[in-house]
Structure 1
C-alpha cells in the first residue's frame, strides 16, 4: 500500500494548473463513466423490450392469421400481364410475402437445438406480453444464436432491401411458442441490432468533445491565473537574493492575484525602507563607538603598568572585533560588492597561504578547479572564520575543495574535541561559543560560525557541522561543510 501511495504521489502533478486539470479530468471521467453506465443500461433494457414486443406481435399475428397455416410451399409463378409498374408492384408484394413467411413460420417441432441456452428472463417477459394479448401459451422458448448458425435468418438477410443493409446484424433472437390445444410451434426471428456498439462510440466521442471544451477552457483560465503567480514567484526569489527594488511586477491577472502582487510590492518597499533604516543606524553606531574606542586606545598608552595596559588594549581589541562582526553580520544580507567570476580553488588556496605564512598548521588538499559567480571578499571572510575556529579549538585545519554536480563543497576538518551532539545546531546561532569562559585565548563574541552560515546562504548554499568519529566510535575532531550553490 505504501509503495502504491508513493507511486501515485509521484504521478500527481506539483503545479496548481496540473492538479486542477487532473482533478477536473478525473471528476469528469467518473461522471461520464457513471452516466454512460446508466445510459447503456437504459438503452439495453429498451432494446430488449423492443425485441420482445416485436417477437410477441409477430407470434400473435402468425397465430391469428390463417395464411400461415398449412404448407410453406410457394405457389408457382404464373405469367404476368399488365404494365411494367403493375409487374414491379406484384414483385414487391411477393417479396414482402416471402419476408413475412421468413419472419414467422409453423413447424412441427421446436426449433431450439439441444444445448442452446434458454433465456428465462426473456421467456417470462414475452409470456406476460402474450397473455395480455389473450394468447393461451402452453410452452414458450427463447434463445439467441449467431446469424451464421440460422439458415432462415440468412435467407431473410438476402431479401432485405433497406438503407441500412450494409450494417449486417450478427445475432438473431429466436422465439417459439406452442398454443394450448395445438401441436405445431409458431416460430419468429428478430434480428438484434448493433446499436449498443454505436451508442458506446457516440458516448466516447461525446466524452472527448466535453473533455476538449471543458479542459481547454479551464486550461485558459488557469493559465491566466498561474502566469502572474509564476512571475510573482520568480520576483520573490529574486528579491530574497538581491534585495533589489527594480523589477517590481505590474498588477495583472484576476483581482485576487492583482491584490497579491500589490501587497508583495508594498511589502518589498517596506522591507527596503527598514533595511535602509538599519544601515543608517548601524553606521551611526559604528562611528559613535569606534571613535571613543580609538580615543581609549590612545589614552591607555599613559598607563605605567605594562601588564594592565596590555589587558586594557586586548579588551579594546575584543570590543572592536565584536563590533566589526556585528556590523558584518548585519550587512551580509545586502552586500555592496557584486558577484564576480572567480576561480574558487585559487581563492581557497590564497586564504590557506595566509595562515601558512604565519606558521599555522593549515593544509590544503589538492582538489577540483572550478569557476563560479561569487562575492570573493565575503567568501574569504567565511573561510577565515571557519579555519580560525578549527585552529582555536582543534589546533590544526585541513581544507578540501570538491565538486558535487554544479555545487562546490568546501570541508574544513580539525582534530579537536568536537561539539556535543545536542549543541551542534546551537553553535550556529549568534553569540554562542564553544568555550563559555570567554578567555582571551579563545576569544570572540560567538559570531564567526553565524557569519559564515549567513555568507553561505547569501550564495544560495549552506553550512553544516558534524563530529568526526574514529573506528572505536570516539570523537576525533569536527568537520565544517560549506556548500556553495552553482
Structure 2
C-alpha cells in the first residue's frame, strides 16, 4: 500500500492542477503573492531611501556635536582635561563617553552595512571640514565587546556610574559608535556614543518574518474565499459533465435548472438537447421496427410468386435478390436492437463472461487462451458488453482460428486485447471495416450469418460506455482488437 500512495497522490495533484478550480487557485495564489512581494519591494525601497535620508540628517547633527566636543576638549589646558571628562556625559541630548587614553584602543568592528557607512562618512567629513582632522579612527562596536581606557578593560568591567547609563540600554544591545583621535604623540581622545534610536541602524528586508507571515495570511485568506466562490461556480459544470456522460451512456435524466441565470440557461438548453436527441433515437427505433415489420409481408409474398416462375434462371435470380433484401432488413433491425440495448448498469464480471466463451469454444480443441483477470467487477450493461466482446471473439475465431485474450485492469479503466493469428487487415481498410455492412472477404462460407455489422455494433457499444474499440495489425502475424472501457 505505501508503494502505491505516492503515485496515487501524484495523479490526484496532477488532476487537481488541470481542473478549472486548481488552475484558478494557482493563478490567484501566484498573483496575490507576486502583488504582495512587488508592493513590499517598492515600499522597502522607499523606506530605505527615507531611512538613509533620516540617518544622514541625524548623523550630521551628531557629527557637529562630536566636533564641538573634540574642539572644546582640545582647547582645554592639559591639566584640566581629566577634571572635565567626568562632566561630559550629556551634551545637547546626545550622550557621550569620553576618556583620554595613552594608546589606541583596538575595536572589534561590527559587520558593515550601508547605514553604518553613512554615519561614519558624515562624522569623518564633519571632522575634516570643521577641525581639519584627517586621522580620526571611526568604528562601530557591540556593547558586550567594547574596550575602553585600555585594551584590557571592557565597558562591562567598569562601575556603572562610569558609563553604563550613557552607553547601555538594557536589555537591548544597540551598536556604539567609537571615535578615536590622536591629539599628540602620547594621548588619544576616545569618544563613544549611542545612536538616538536603538533600532536606528537595523537593516530592513522585503522577506522578513512579519512580512512573510502577512503575505501568507493574505494568500490563505484569498484562497479560502476563492475556494468558496469557485465551488459554487464549478459545481454546476461538474453536474453538467456528469449528466452529459450519463446521457452518452444511455441514461437520460433531466438536470435541475437552478443556480445563476447563466447556469439555469445552460441546464435548460442541455435538457432540451437531451429531449430532442432521445426523441430522435426513439423515432429511429420505431421507424426501423416499422420498416422491418412492413417489409416482411411484401418480401414473403414476392418470394412465393418467384417460386411460381417457370424459368429457373429468372426464379433463382429473384430469390437471391429477395434473400439479400431480407438480410439487409434484418441487419438494419439487428444493428439498432443490439446497439441500443435497454438495460440498467450493474456489476459485470467480464472475466467470468470470457471464461464462458472459452469453455464453449474449446469443446473440441483449445481455441481461446485467457491471460490476466479483473481485480474487481466492471459497472456496465452486461448484455451489451457480452455482445461487444462476443462479436470480436467470433471474428478472431473465424479469421484466425484461435484467439489469445489479454485482460488489463487498473483503477482508471479496463483494457481487453483480443489477438488472433489471421491474415490481418490492410492499413487503409482498418477504419472502413467499422462501417455497417462492410466485409473484406466475399466468401461467407463458414460464417453464413455474417453481414458486416459485428465491428460496428462492438464499437457503438464500447462508445456508449465511454470507451473505444480499435484495431491494429500485430508485427508478426494476426490482428489485435483492443476494447478500452473506462471505470467511471
Matches within 5 A, 1:42-441: 42-64=46-68, 68=73, 70=76, 73=82, 96=90, 102=96, 123-125=120-122, 135=130, 137-139=132-134, 142-151=138-147, 158-159=164-165, 165-169=170-174, 171-174=175-178, 187-191=191-195, 193=199, 195-196=202-203, 200-244=208-252, 246-253=253-260, 255-303=261-309, 312-313=318-319, 315-330=321-336, 334-351=340-357, 363-365=367-369, 368=373, 371-394=377-400, 396-400=401-405, 402-405=407-410, 408-435=414-441, 438=442, 440-441=444-445
Shift of 1:304: 5.8
Match of 2:22 among 18, 22, 29: 18
Shift of 1:362: 7.2
CA–CA distance in structure 2, aligned partners of residues 341 and 117 of structure 1: 74
CA–CA distance in structure 2, aligned partners of residues 198 and 125 of structure 1: 24
CA–CA distance in structure 2, aligned partners of residues 26 and 137 of structure 1: 57
2:5 is matched with which residue? none
SS of the residue 1:144 aligns to: strand
Note if 1:40 corresponds to 2:47. Answer: no
Note if 1:447 corresponds to 2:447. Answer: no
SS of the residue 1:13 aligns to: helix
Shift of 1:112: 7.3
CA–CA distance in structure 1, aligned partners of residues 437 and 163 of structure 2: 98
Shift of 1:450: 1.3
Size of the alignment, in residue pairs?
446
CA–CA distance in structure 2, aligned partners of residues 212 and 74 of structure 1: 65
Q: Closer, same or farther in 2 for the Cα pair 1:42/1:409, shift >3 Å?
A: closer
CA–CA distance in structure 2, aligned partners of residues 138 and 95 of structure 1: 23
Shift of 1:36: 2.4
CA–CA distance in structure 2, aligned partners of residues 157 and 226 of structure 1: 70
| RMSD, aligned CA | 4.5
Shift of 1:449: 1.0
TM-score normalised by L of structure 2: 0.73
Q: Is this contact kept in 2: 1:417–1:478, CA < 8 A?
A: yes
Shift of 1:225: 0.9
CA–CA distance in structure 2, aligned partners of residues 158 and 75 of structure 1: 18
CA displacement 1:291-339 (0-9 Å, x = unmatched): 3233334444435677876665554444334333333444556422333
Shift of 1:236: 1.9
TM-score normalised by L of structure 1: 0.73
CA–CA distance in structure 1, aligned partners of residues 362 and 109 of structure 2: 102
SS of the residue 2:367 aligns to: strand
2:6 is matched with which residue? none
CA–CA distance in structure 2, aligned partners of residues 232 and 130 of structure 1: 81
CA–CA distance in structure 1, aligned partners of residues 85 and 397 of structure 2: 125
CA–CA distance in structure 1, aligned partners of residues 348 and 94 of structure 2: 98
